[in-house]
Structure 1
């Protein structure tokens, strides 16, 4: 720590007793390093006092600083005496106004002058507000906003002063009037270490102490950016150097010349955000090889400019024994935090007095919250019920009957804000007794702390708060909270954010996410004050903030030997893929040797050949079993994709079910199918009369209700939206089929329903002279029309390729194509019926009745224009079916994935 060592050496030369000094630092982190340095120098005296500059201002002011929850609640208590606005809406704008107000108090001469300016500016823009009094003027809301702030903020300041409270900005305003007296009367010797930018009050305090010879300033600067007026990193230090307090008797210390020293700088252009962290092991390998085997990790820092990369960074550095993490991980990004958001969302829905729960509001909570084994059993059974019955909206009584035994079931019940807060505190407390990993435990503990703090603060106030306001308040807190990691800062690799590097120096620097928008942050300031207003009243804009970040960047690099700058070059989401302009400045202006490397993601190309599965002995044994129960759907499945056939028939796997928010094509077909079965089962064995079908037409609604029951669906599923439309279409299809049959009878045709869902099995089919397979299946409808036996298969899609007239050389492979799936299925059904001799006829018709073309009736399979089929005529399609089965059984032909065609029902 070169800079800190120089400070200690210089102070010891001035006075061997450091307790005579009070060190003022940008942050508390360097204190531990200062103590280490003193230990190494065998210092045996008392330590100096350590302050941050904020703590120093607070001590001078004599006020109690108020912020966070306490400030928001106190401010709202004042605000509601003047204006009628609920707490939730107040919280949406007040934190930003408070930040702006603090900026005004810190940097401007008068906060009232700025508030008057904003009010007057809106009045000027709104000069014609009274010309069309009847019309609503959208600018009025801005005028009213600043009119309210002009009244509210001065009142808030007065009330805070009465309680001896002060915001950060008010502390500056108070200290401004006390600086001279303090500097004159204090007996302390202050040492300001490593500061760059001061607020006007801080600057006045330092200069006044220098005048009275009660302060020493140590700046860490470099000629590289001090002597170049174009370098924004030296903007503030160049101004400090001109202070009259620095003269021949008191030099500006120190300006070094380290930046231009020889450095190993490498810039990595990486495709991907997380991909940057995957380079870290290689970088450390290079550093270790370039140095001795005793590589000192304590001289190395990984600086993350994107806090969200902390988890993948730690994963990439898992082989390093000692790592000290000095940055926090955002609380809002953790799983338990997401579950809390879901709970508040659910509670807001309950406040609307809804009679049911949307399943997507419930399941994420059940899945993300930590759970006991007993809770896990309840949740799995509940999820199984939702899948089986396809429940989208869960009735309150059903939720209670299924989940009342859940340890945290009270979180699913409607609560007031105070009741919910108490339940959450108790829940977090109980959770900590379960076996949890450290991160989850810390996550829960942070929420428990936030909830308890909020509860304690609310006890002092009496205004009503609804759940939505409570959610906004907690979100404001959680978004600013992070989980801090504890470690040993004097040992191992340092992982930190940029601001944590202040006053510290490292030989090896690795900066991750050096992208524009991350470094510097750019024009992303959350403020209600326009840029020109901030400039007019000398408030910091994004330009000053960029200068501050520029200083941190260049100061970090100036004493380093090895610098690795990684940035994400991939444009995706909010990331523009643009490297930081600081990198460009280094490349153009520094004159240092810089090595550029482009790193592409090492992703293997997609295998266009698809999966190939050889037929092992075990697979062949499974196929021998399959031969005893072969269905037409198995063969169709094979035609679409042999690998799907392998998964379903060999491995016996099935795709995972999920809740359908919109009725699938498959279940739409089942809905119509089950409704038809409900209607026609009452007339099986009858030669239909007009009265039979007219009676059935009256039962269509009942048939659909029965079909819904058979599908195990809830009636409410079909009450609105697309599912209501699907049910209406299904009703029309069922009605059209009944009417079609009715018209047949009216025209003098005889129609007899023989069977529905007819089961055929163990139908022998020879595939060679010595080998047979056995068909099984279910035929949707068997009837006789004018004495001719018909077998009918229902389809949701249109009938296709039912007219077969192939050339002789095409017969062997006629049906070995997915486009011929319907003809293949009908041929097998026809063969099974004729071969099993279930009926006296030795011929029949078979066809498709499409729900998409109900008006066409049954569209028959035709073989060379013959619709009356017997076993001899069927031999033609059966030959290609035989060849298809032989291909499936052939041990030399593997199951090869079909990558060019998608499966379709």
Structure 2
């Protein structure tokens, strides 16, 4: 059984002989022309004049004086018309995304030759639609139902916004087309419509052969009909419905496993059949993986889909460089964040770039583009062995061309956007650019995307990643023109897009001897990936024998269990040195780390491996937020005690009324803790949106703290950020108390000192059942480490005074309630005096210190796997 194109070649030769010089063969795309030409040459068995081969796009464009403009230029011009017609001062940055959508709607209007004035009529002027004689009863009913939604007197805000746009959309359409035409430009649909409606056209060839067109748009139908009436057109449509002999459906947990299956599928027969064997990528992002998975015994291969520019080294570098400029600059450090710079330094092309690549920040798009072009040019002309393949060279050229194209639009004043929008444009352009492979198209195994299979037939077909969303590919109905109007006026709908892919799918299978279809069955976010609806249709129709298989991963990675680390003499020496008195001693935080995980303690304090700094960017994380609040609380009480030692209700009330002082201390805290500015004369640098939100929350928390303290007044401040220390088991322990104050107990009327530790987290503290629980693994998850620190500080203070001392953890988020009491509890009893618990607490703490410094006790890992998930040393433990 011959292929579709073989039958076409036979018929053309029987009609016109070997002189096809006055014949133009029109295909949907260029790919099939190579195969038809080969069939003609083989079947003619003698020299022949080949026909001209053109695509449908070439046919339209060659018959118009207009040029299809650059897509970016088209949106920029549309923006100008939009602002002129509506008077709305919408920036190009805000307009660009939905400008592309509006342009797509205009393009669809023209390709389907819909009556623009009718479709885009002002929805309030329904009398404009009185003449609907050209519509079918069904279409008239759809329009009636749609417009009834806008006949009510009271419209929603969304409906009003829609109406405001539509009150100008017809005017925008006509003005836009006129403005482009004056510049001899057009978008594709407008050019197609102009050609289709131009009755004066003269056609170059005697005969136009249209091969493999289906589901035609109105402009195509109109042009085809005219040529047919002139006796200049013949049509070939593949209508055979010969089913394949057998279909094998295979599910797989990942796309990589699907690609690795290629080497098993490509047996000797399929390899020997060469171009009759096709590997079709429903997800073209798989191309790189597929290339690497082809077996070594495949010596000839033809890759019809281009290599994505987005998967090249230069694309990753340009994306990272733009990200560094857009997101990587730290205002508080006045430099680029280290992680962005390090990321670029690890790039393969880093050695080809100047050392000062991160010395300047670009906030305007023109110098930014010029900088990127210069770097690309420097890399491309370096003559380095790093640029070792034609793919590298071609990708650099493509990127250079792409950036120059953007730069030209910026330099001419057409493109005026900010760096965020420029970044989106660059990403979009890169994602739609591919690098063609060079080779002999009619030889070897064919690796192609779905669109390249049009009009071609294969004996052996392997479809990869045939999932819903890939087949059909990402079809959607996003549009300013509602579905009802699209349906009524014959515009493209989602049904049309699905039908096209359905045709490609079934046409690809109909002449194949064997078909294997793979799809992803992985579960992600609780949802299982679905096979294509076309596969389900095959299963339901039950006309073709189908077998089902499942691929599984060949290996399961084995996690290495964390191992205990012995306290060798070297480890003990480092432990003593790290926590010596002159090195600051051992802190309660270090003891708590040991309680949570001894291996984390070892890596952090013994090996002195610093945990990653999460404040590299201009982001206020939880730790920084707490630091800023602590500093603001210190500053506000320093302000209060500057005039009087006793804090009164009146003093707090005056401060709460005087909002400026609270805002000033918060700003000063942000300056010191976030920007590291200690010069009081320097102003607070500008804050971004998230930073401003954090500022407002800290102000709210500070006011909440003052409201809470107001209920205790009068009281005295004995110390703020007060250093304390103690020596136990010959080990020096030191820390800092957030606040030390003296209050009159509202229940007993007795004076007591409070050791207050501020907490900005959302969790409420649970009471410990007993003192021993503070040191137990079960209680660690309930923040018992807060207990340990605060009880220790309270004990140190109590050892130097006869007064009662109570430990307090003041959770700011919960301090708003009238009965809030931050005093810690053991069981149901509040600790009004730490002396009642000191002996047991200190005995247990000494035992903990003995364990830490006992050379016979190894550092062992925690058995709480949840802690490992967020531990920065997890890779070391399990490596």
TM-score of the pair, normalised by structure 1: 0.66
**Gap change, CA 1:359 and 1:331, over 3 Å in 2:** farther
Q: 1:846 to 1:641 in 2, by over 3 A?
A: farther
Residues 624 and 213 from structure 1, CA distance in 2 versus in 1: closer, same or farther, beyond 3 angstroms?
Answer: same
Deviations 1:549-605 (A, max 9, x none): 211111111122332223344565798833322112211225211122345778969
Displacement of 1:285 in angstroms is 0.8
Inter-partner Cα distance in structure 2 for 1:287 and 1:546: 31
The alignment status of 1:190 with 2:208, answered yes or no, reads yes
Corresponding residue to 1:626 among 575, 578, 602? 575
Q: Which residue number in structure 1 is paired with residue 305 of structure 2?
A: 327
* Distance in 1 (alpha carbons) for counterparts of 2:31 and 2:91: 37
Are 2:271 and 2:277, in contact at CA under 8 Å, matched by a contact in 1?
no
| Count of equivalent residues | 782
1:409-447 deviation per Cα after TM superposition (whole angstroms, max 9, x unaligned): 2513xx4x6666656655654564577778888777555
Computing the radius of gyration over CA atoms, which structure comes out larger, 1 or 2? 1
Shift of 1:464: 9.1
**Counterpart in the other structure of 2:141:** none
1:307-706 matched pairs, under 5 angstroms: 307-314=284-291, 324-328=302-306, 335=316, 338=319, 357=331, 363=337, 366-367=340-341, 406=357, 409=360, 411-412=362-363, 415=364, 425-426=373-374, 428-430=376-378, 432-433=380-381, 446=398, 448-454=400-406, 456=408, 465=416, 467=418, 471=422, 474=425, 478=429, 481-488=432-439, 489-490=441-442, 492-520=444-472, 524-570=476-522, 577-598=529-550, 611-615=561-565, 621-623=570-572, 625-626=574-575, 629=579, 631=586, 633=588, 634-659=590-615, 661-662=619-620, 664=622, 668=626, 672=630
Q: Which whole-Å CA distance do the structure 2 matches of 1:535 and 1:422 have between them?
A: 47
2:246 is aligned with 1:267: no
> Helix, strand or coil for the counterpart of 2:516?
strand
Structure 1 portions without partners, runs of 5+: 225-256, 350-355, 380-402, 684-688, 746-750, 766-773
- Are positions 1:305 and 2:271 aligned together? no
- Cα distance 1:466–1:312, how it changes in 2: closer, same or farther (>3 A)? same
Listed as ranges, the gaps of 5+ residues in structure 2 are: 130-145, 580-584, 656-660, 678-683, 743-751, 872-879
Q: Secondary structure at the match of 1:597?
A: strand
Q: Secondary structure at the match of 1:514?
A: coil
- The answer as to whether partners of 1:301 and 1:496 remain within 8 angstroms in 2 is yes
Within the alignment, does 1:777 sit opposite 2:779 as a pair?
no
| 1:534/1:540 contact within 8 Å kept | yes
Q: Answer yes or no: is the 8 Å Cα contact 2:806–2:833 preserved in 1.
A: no
Instruction: Determine the structure 2 residue equivalent to 1:383.
Output: none
In structure 2, C-alpha distance between the alignment counterparts of 1:466 and 1:726, rounded to whole Å: 35
User: What is the CA–CA distance in structure 2 between the aligned matches of 1:157 and 1:704, rounded to whole Å?
Assistant: 56
Question: Contact 1:814–1:877 at 8 Å: present in 2 too?
Answer: no
The correspondence of residues 41-60 of structure 1 with structure 2, limited to 5 A, is 44-60=47-63
Q: Tell me which of 137, 150, 156 is aligned to 2:170.
A: 150
Q: Deviations over 1:143-170 (max 9, x none)?
A: 5544534344445555655666555344
Which SS does the other structure have where 2:4 is aligned?
Answer: helix
**Which SS does the other structure have where 1:613 is aligned?**
coil
Q: SS of 1:191's equivalent?
A: strand
Contact 1:611 1:896 in 2 (8 A): no
Deviation at 1:614, TM superposition (A): 3.2
SS for the counterpart of 2:477 is coil
Instruction: State how far apart, in whole Å, the 2-side matches of 1:360 and 1:331 are.
Output: 33
Conserved 8 A contact 1:612-1:896 = no
Change (3 A) 1:340 1:494: farther
Q: Aligned to 1:626, what secondary structure does the other structure show?
A: helix
Distance in 2 of aligned mates of 1:117 and 1:867: 78
The alignment's TM-score, normalised by the length of structure 2, stands at 0.68
Q: Secondary structure at the match of 1:486?
A: coil
* Distance of 2:151 and 2:623 partners within structure 1: 60
Take 1:407 and 1:484, find their aligned partners in 2: how far apart are those partners? Answer: 30
Greater shift after overlay, 319-328 or 469-478? 469-478
| Residue aligning to 2:28 | 26
Aligned equivalents of 1:871, 1:107: Cα separation in 2: 86
Which moved further from structure 2: 640-649 or 359-368? 359-368
Q: Is the 8 A contact 2:757 2:790 kept in 1?
A: no
SS at match of 1:221: coil
**More off after superposition, 137-146 vs 579-588:** 137-146
For residues 153 and 872 of structure 1, the distance between their equivalents in structure 2, rounded to whole angstroms, comes to: 85
Out of 103, 107, 110, the residue aligned to residue 112 of structure 2 is 107
